[in-house]
Amino acid sequence: MAPSSEKKQLLHLVFGGELTTLTEVQFRDLDKLDIVGIFPDYQSALAAWKSKAQLTVDNAHMRYFIVHMHRLLDPGAV
């Protein structure tokens, strides 16, 4: 168990890929998904997301997402 003074990890996954259309989330090639990483909190995930999104701003079909993994791992918690 983690000591109570430690900040609770709220894991977030940042990933992206090229979509087939601009109107739905359907990836063109699942083998080419860009897994940016797993981050211990939303703030660091957001910083990584912004960085990747900015690098691909010229490609309208390229999208990055933040997945709140902590919600999937423990649906009853915050």
pLDDT surpassing 60 at residue 4: no
Q: Is 64 helix (H, G, I), strand (E, B) or coil?
A: strand
pTM of the full structure? 0.83
What is the structure's pLDDT at 29? 96
- Backbone conformation region of residue 30, classed left if phi is above 0, alpha if psi is from -120 to 50, else beta: alpha
User: How far apart, in Å, do the first and last CA atoms of the chain sit?
Assistant: 18
Tell me: domain 12-73, CATH 3.50.50.60, correct? no
Give the pLDDT score at 75.
78
Query: Shortest CA distance to 42 belongs to which of 2, 16, 7?
Result: 7
The residues spanned by each domain of the chain are 12-73
Q: Are 26 and 19 in contact (CB under 8 A)?
A: yes
Phi, psi of 2 (to 5 degrees): -80, 145
Q: What is the pLDDT of residues 29-75, one digit of tens each?
A: 999 999 999 999 999 999 999 999 999 999 999 999 999 999 888 87
